[in-house]
Amino acid sequence: MGLTTHPSPAPAPERPDVRLLLLPLPEFTLLPFGAFLDKLRFSADDADLSRQRHCAWTLLGVDGQSVTSSSGVRVETDTTPADVDFRAFDYLVVFGSRTVEKSMALAGTYAPVLRAASRHGLPLVAIDNASFLLARAGLLRGHEVALHWRHVAEFRSAFPRIAVRSELIYCFDRDRITCAGGTAAIDMAVELLARHCGRARACKGLADMLVDEPRHPAHPLRSMEGDPSLGRHLSRAIALMRSSLGEPMGIPELARRIGIGRRHLDRLFRERFGVSAHEHWTRMRLEHAQWRVQHSHHSLAAIAGEVGLASAASLGRLMRQHLGQSPGALRAQRASTPD
């Protein structure tokens, strides 16, 4: 009887093709963290053995303690800035906090770590709100940034000199990589790994993750198109309004982008919502501003800029007119409400 032989496992490389230092900020969100890390795991080894052979990662914590996510799950860290040798890595990947304010408030503690990594030649990767931390640290000057659509207006208001690619879910710009967060962390991880491990290994495990294929950075999100029951023109108009809250674009330009006349657009809005397109857009802007007033400490002038208004006075006038309350009263009401 003949002997059946099995191919030997591929020999381990002398060193991984790519080595990543992962830095989760306090209150980091688990979805992009887990998505990115699991994509690394599938590509790191043959079969599903989860050894760090072709790519390797180390978790960095500023104080050597575990880091708690926004959902309360804790992850243990492997090293600290005092002990780490940045030269042993190819990237520093930062996972943002749950809120923009939290990410930016950490600049005093984390900016020195980011600058040290940059001085050692490590490209910096910012996922989700981590882009705000890098911008506050002065590490995104001259670079283009991909952001979650909810934070585009806020980022442009806070950092008007940094170019935002609002149509991208991730962006590779020389030694800076930014990602909108969520499941886009998988797509960005595939592109990063492909540059070091090859496309086949980079895509390994996607079927196990129930992902059909990696998305292009300019992949249009169908979920951003709104409710399909609204019809093509209304759905597209609302999607554009949502993504352009702070842009100096009027209804005529909005109608032109959709490919219909302004009167036609107004008629569609009145038939469905009982208000003109301009009134509907104003409501959307006020809803965003109201949330920001109640859930942030940013100045009213900054929030006004996020929704395309010239001043805090304009914001106050619109809020009193449509909501019956001033921004100051809304903020005081929120402050007096226990979490």
3-class SS at 281? helix
Q: How confident is the model at residue 6 (pLDDT cuts 50, 70, 90)?
A: very low
- pLDDT of amino acid 269: 92
- Cα-based distances in Å from 277 to 33, 265, 304, 326, 336: 39, 7, 20, 24, 35
The answer, yes or no, to whether residue 228 has pLDDT greater than 70, is: no
Q: How confident is the model at residue 335 (pLDDT cuts 50, 70, 90)?
A: low
Mean pLDDT in residue range 60-76: 94
Instruction: Pick the range with the lowest mean pLDDT from 101-105, 140-144, 206-210, 244-248.
Output: 244-248
Q: Which long-range contacts (CB under 8 A, 24 or more apart) does 228-232 make?
A: 230/272, 231/268
- pLDDT of amino acid 223: 63
> Across-strand partners of 21?
58, 92
Retrieve residue 20's tokens. Answer: 């990543």
Instruction: Give the contacts of 291 (CB within 8 A, at least 6 positions apart).
Output: none
Retrieve residue 26's tokens. Answer: 């306090």
Put residue 286 in one of left, alpha, beta given phi > 0 → left and psi -120 to 50 → alpha.
alpha
Please tell me the CATH code under which domain 227-335 is placed. Answer: 1.10.10.60
Q: How confident is the model at residue 222 (pLDDT cuts 50, 70, 90)?
A: low
Please state the separation of Cα 299 from the chain's center in Å.
23
Mean pLDDT in residue range 221-237: 72
* H-assigned helices in the chain: 30-44, 100-105, 107-119, 130-136, 152-158, 184-197, 199-203, 232-243, 251-258, 262-273, 277-295, 300-306, 312-323, 327-335
d(CA 147, CA 13): 35
Mean pLDDT in residue range 225-244: 77
- In this predicted model, what pLDDT tens digit does every residue of 135-178 receive, in sequence order? 999 999 999 999 998 788 788 888 989 999 988 999 999 999 99
The answer, yes or no, to whether residue 4 has pLDDT greater than 60, is: no
Instruction: Give the contacts of 260 (CB within 8 A, at least 6 positions apart).
Output: 233
pLDDT averaged over every residue in the chain: 88
3-class SS at 155? helix
- pLDDT of amino acid 231: 78
Q: Measured in Å, how far apart are the chain's first and last C-alpha atoms?
A: 74
The answer, yes or no, to whether residue 116 has pLDDT greater than 80, is: yes
- pLDDT of amino acid 239: 82
The answer to whether domain 18-203 and domain 227-335 are alike in fold is: no
- In this predicted model, what pLDDT tens digit does every residue of 311-330 receive, in sequence order? 888 898 988 988 888 888 88
d(CA 243, CA 85): 41
Selected residue with higher pLDDT from 55 and 299: 55
Q: Which helix (H) or strand (E) holds 58?
A: strand 55-59
Mean pLDDT in residue range 101-121: 94
Selected residue with higher pLDDT from 233 and 147: 147
Q: What is the model's pTM?
A: 0.75
Retrieve residue 299's tokens. Answer: 């100045």
In the chain, the amino acid numbered 188 is M
Please state the separation of Cα 277 from the chain's center in Å.
29
**Domain segments of the chain as ranges:** 18-203, 227-335
Q: How confident is the model at residue 182 (pLDDT cuts 50, 70, 90)?
A: very high
Mean pLDDT in residue range 205-221: 89
- pLDDT of amino acid 13: 57
18-203 folds as Rossmann fold (3.40.50)
Only one residue has tokens 């609002």, namely 166
